[in-house]
Structure 1
Amino acid sequence: MIKNFAELELDPNLLLAIEEMGYDRPTQIQAEAIPQALDGRDILASAPTGTGKTAAFILPALQFLQDFPRRKPGPARVLVLTPTRELAMQVADQARELAKHTTLNIFTITGGVQYQEHANILATTQDIVVATPGRLMEYINSERFDCRAIEWLILDEADRMLDMGFGPIVDKLSHECRWRKQTLLFSATLEGKGVEGFTADLLKNPAELDAEPSRRERKKIAQWYHRADDMTHKLELLKKILTEQAERSIVFLKTRERLAELRIELEKANIACAWIQGEMPQDRRNNAISRFRDGSVNVLLATDVAARGIDLPDVSHVINYDMPRSADVYLHRIGRTARAGKKGCAVSLVEAHDQPMIDRVIRYTKEEIKERFIKEMRPKHKKPVFKKKNKKKEDSKKTPAKSKKKSAKKKK
């Protein structure tokens, strides 16, 4: 088991940058992906947000560029595709941090940027370009971007790119970069559309890696739940937690309608919040995230779709106002807190119908999620118990009993 970054055979300049960023030991996905990528393997990885996946592909890419330095100025050698402009900027920022003791150039090509600005970038030497598929394809079609020099193609949040309809464009980009040496694909899950939506020749004999956040990483997250009798009780519990316990919280809801209702209630209670939801204009979304990021507001309401791929620092609490539809989504949600070695809390507000989901999460994570109470706000109802019924057994038990009763009646 790899215990520190020095064991990963990285250059001293990268190790120094890692140390300055405050990372002490690699996460599971970093320990698994970096050696395989440096061995020249294609990578197919399941890595939810919060597992350190960006460094898992940026570090080997930076190492590769230093192991095989360019002989003359020219276009990009590593291309990272991300579904959104926001994620592209996050990835590029982290890449620059990790590359700060090198001479490598890292640029982004995304929507919302003036054409001239990109033209200036494309006229200089680039080493790594982080791009959104649609905008990059425009430049390729107008012969402004040259894919022939690309040696590594990296797809970040591949499943989300498919959800957003980028599948055909990514396949075209893959064809444009056909001279590449390696492809690395990262997705929140490897099931369903996560991989199958792309053409089969995207990856060649990849190393398959599955990195749920490790137990050690999750141990930094204290998990508990409060039972709520009804929606009014639930809202009061949330207000109490936001005003008296939490410093910076992300509150998860299952639909946009539910988010709108909660927003109005929090405004009535003078609790300032920002919010993000699916199909939201990019400028409003960016504004909400930057308000939360810079501390103008300390509560961010979010739906699962909207929160994918966002890396927000110093989140003290993740609050499940609505329980998620599955246990793995629960894990993705709580991974928003306890980042970069810090501790965090995950709190679920549970109505009677949510109890089976809490039980499922406990079985799935093999971790205890204890019930807690807030004084004067204890639930009035008893905790519901859901027993699994085996229908076949139940039916077979019932049938003989009925026939006995009938035969008894006949005898009378």
Structure 2
Amino acid sequence: MKDIKFSDLGLSDDILRAIDDMGFEEPSNIQAEVIPVILEGFDVIGQAQTGTGKTLAFGAPVLSKFIGSDKKPTSIILTPTRELAIQVNDELVRVSKHSRIKLLPVYGGQPIERQIKALKRGIDMIVGTPGRVLDLIRRNVIDLSSIKFLILDEADEMLNMGFIDDIETIIKECGDDRQTLLFSATMPNEIKKLAKRYMKADSKHISIVKNAMTVSTINQYYYEIKHKDRFESLCRILDVDEPTTAIIFCKTKRGVDELVESMQARGYNVEGMHGDMSQNQRMNTLRKFKEGNLEFLVATDVAARGIDVEDVTHVINYDLPQDTESYVHRIGRTGRANKEGIAYTLVTAREYMTLKQIEKVTKSKIKRKEIPSIDDIFHSKYKNILNRVKETLDQEDYKKFVPLAAELDEEFNLVDVAAALMNIVYGKEISFDYTENSIGAAASEHVRLFLTVGRMDKVNPKILLQFFNENADVYREDVGDIDILQKFTFVDVAEHAVSSIIKNCSGKRLCGRRLNVEISKGKK
């Protein structure tokens, strides 16, 4: 699969643009194998571990072949849990960024009335749990007669949870003129029987061999962060740990460039590597890193392939990788030759479930660590300065400064002088202008906002989230429930995002209407 690009697989231009925006440089094994086969029209059984990029493997070709059908859904994806339904839907929203495709996740634990209203307005693709989908079918809300794609994701998990009867009932509601895609980590007899009963005779079985995922010599930790604090969190971690040699991984080429620029501006000895750089550039950067002339290397997964550098003390996942295999490859850059290594991963609350999947597949424990406080940084730097002073006192070099120290002794207390010198050193070693002692991902209280746009303006959650992001620098994880009514909308947002939204969004035009935003006086 080496050197295959997404552009080689036959996907539509809109989908390729979205994949490029997501920052994926090349397909995972399952994606490279499965996408062309789905595009050719075959039913597919895809066997691969969780965390290998299966959502994109079926989502990209299905969205590439999308054809609308008068408000009736043309694709349905069944998942075993609501958490996975949300995750799959979020991924598909990103993949369909440049396409006019309406998606809806349906699952229990959320008011069914809201889902019914959305379905009646017309949905192209449904992502749901079997129980809720079946409930909506029985209420005559979902009509699957126009389904062109039926996808069963984590099929073995759905069978383990007792969904077999529900799944068969749903399949029978779909027309025969459909493409069936079944993805499963294992292939028990029940799956084989299901495939034989409901898939075409010429269906393709694609199995990706599970690679050994050894991470036994690596101490793995994660920091739960807020998106807006990602860079400061990294600086705090580096200021406390002071790694001598570290590789920092970003998901995108642009992410590498932006992080390198920010780190260099704060005095870090760092360079970047990604696929847009020439071979000579990459070789020169790698040579400097190997020779110890660079402390930090920021790289994408593709650019870092084949890097073999001894004594890398830390690997830091600034962004989560696309799949579990990439995670293992990344952290395998440390802990070489039976030495212990340290791997840190920065995750937002929404990314936490992906991290737990990685933990499950690698059969390892990724322990939580708190983002260092300013007090932690001070004590770490103090110990470091103290050790350097002690080492210097063991040498003779400092004695040429004794006459100068004697002069200072006449005017100042030498303890004060030593403290002043330590303060100068400390100030030069701090990389960020920290203002708060502690930062973290503690849950923020939500505030309900009232917006003067609604369904009549054709606003939807995707448009609203993009509007908040572009105008107020507010991210998806800072937004809770969104209730879009006919003439206005209620949105729950994190406390820290309220002032930015009111200040930067009020008066702007959204869907052709001048928007007013204010704190809601009541629930509705």
- Which interval holds the TM-score relative to the shorter structure? 0.5 to 0.7
Is the 2:9–2:36 Cα contact (8 Å) retained in structure 1?
yes
2:191 equivalent to 1:195: yes
Deviations 1:145-182 (A, max 9, x none): 11111111000000000000001111111111133421
Change in Cα spacing, 1:347 to 1:156, as seen in structure 2 (3 Å) is farther
More divergent stretch after superposition (6-15 vs 82-91): 6-15
Residue type matched to 2:194 in 1? F
Is the 2:30–2:208 Cα contact (8 Å) retained in structure 1?
yes
Q: 1:273 — aligned with what?
A: none
Give the C-alpha shift of residue 83 in structure 1: 0.2
Matches within 5 A, 1:8-407: 8-65=9-66, 69-70=67-68, 73-190=70-187, 192-193=188-189, 195-196=191-192, 198=194, 200-205=196-201, 206-212=203-209, 223-225=215-217, 241=219, 246-248=220-222, 336=324, 338-339=326-327, 343-345=330-332, 371-372=338-339
Which secondary structure does the structure 1 equivalent of 2:65 belong to? Answer: helix
Q: Alpha carbon RMSD of aligned pairs, Å?
A: 3.3
Residue type matched to 1:223 in 2? V
Distance in 2 (alpha carbons) for counterparts of 1:10 and 1:336: 24
Deviations 1:342-366 (A, max 9, x none): 8225999xxxxxxxxxxxxxxxxxx
Distance in 1 (alpha carbons) for counterparts of 2:43 and 2:340: 49
Is the 2:47–2:184 Cα contact (8 Å) retained in structure 1?
yes
Distance in 1 (alpha carbons) for counterparts of 2:334 and 2:130: 36
More divergent stretch after superposition (171-180 vs 83-92): 171-180
Distance in 1 (alpha carbons) for counterparts of 2:37 and 2:194: 22
Which secondary structure does the structure 2 equivalent of 1:209 belong to? Answer: strand
Give the C-alpha shift of residue 13 in structure 1: 1.4
Distance in 1 (alpha carbons) for counterparts of 2:147 and 2:14: 24
Is the 2:52–2:325 Cα contact (8 Å) retained in structure 1?
no
Residue type matched to 1:204 in 2? K
TM-score normalised by structure 2 residue count: 0.43
Distance in 2 (alpha carbons) for counterparts of 1:162 and 1:370: 42
Is the 1:187–1:194 Cα contact (8 Å) retained in structure 2?
no
- Larger RCO of the pair (alpha carbons < 8 Å, separation 6+): 1
Residue type matched to 2:198 in 1? L
Change in Cα spacing, 1:142 to 1:293, as seen in structure 2 (3 Å) is farther
Distance in 1 (alpha carbons) for counterparts of 2:167 and 2:197: 12
% identical aligned pairs: 31
Residue type matched to 2:215 in 1? Q
Residue type matched to 1:54 in 2? T
Is the 2:153–2:184 Cα contact (8 Å) retained in structure 1?
yes
Which secondary structure does the structure 1 equivalent of 2:70 belong to? Answer: coil
Distance in 2 (alpha carbons) for counterparts of 1:198 and 1:180: 17
Larger Rg over CA atoms:
2
Change in Cα spacing, 1:292 to 1:213, as seen in structure 2 (3 Å) is farther
Distance in 2 (alpha carbons) for counterparts of 1:196 and 1:346: 39
User: How many residues get paired?
Assistant: 250
Give the C-alpha shift of residue 338 in structure 1: 3.6
Change in Cα spacing, 1:171 to 1:373, as seen in structure 2 (3 Å) is same
Give the C-alpha shift of residue 11 in structure 1: 1.5
Is the 1:51–1:212 Cα contact (8 Å) retained in structure 2?
no
Which secondary structure does the structure 2 equivalent of 1:123 belong to? Answer: helix
Give the C-alpha shift of residue 142 in structure 1: 1.8
Change in Cα spacing, 1:41 to 1:186, as seen in structure 2 (3 Å) is same
Give the C-alpha shift of residue 225 in structure 1: 3.8
Deviations 1:211-232 (A, max 9, x none): 1356xxx8xx773449xxxxxx
Structure 2: give runs of 5+ residues left out of the alignment.
231-249, 252-322, 342-524
Is the 1:79–1:150 Cα contact (8 Å) retained in structure 2?
yes
Is the 1:59–1:98 Cα contact (8 Å) retained in structure 2?
yes
Is the 1:225–1:370 Cα contact (8 Å) retained in structure 2?
no
Deviations 1:247-280 (A, max 9, x none): 418xxxxxxxxxxxxxxxxxxxxxxxxxxxxxxx
Give the C-alpha shift of residue 56 in structure 1: 0.5
Is the 2:120–2:141 Cα contact (8 Å) retained in structure 1?
no
Give the C-alpha shift of residue 144 in structure 1: 1.4
Distance in 1 (alpha carbons) for counterparts of 2:226 and 2:209: 26
Change in Cα spacing, 1:346 to 1:54, as seen in structure 2 (3 Å) is farther
Which secondary structure does the structure 2 equivalent of 1:198 belong to? Answer: helix
Distance in 2 (alpha carbons) for counterparts of 1:208 and 1:89: 27
Is the 2:52–2:324 Cα contact (8 Å) retained in structure 1?
no
Q: 2:349 — aligned with what?
A: none
Give the C-alpha shift of residue 113 in structure 1: 1.0
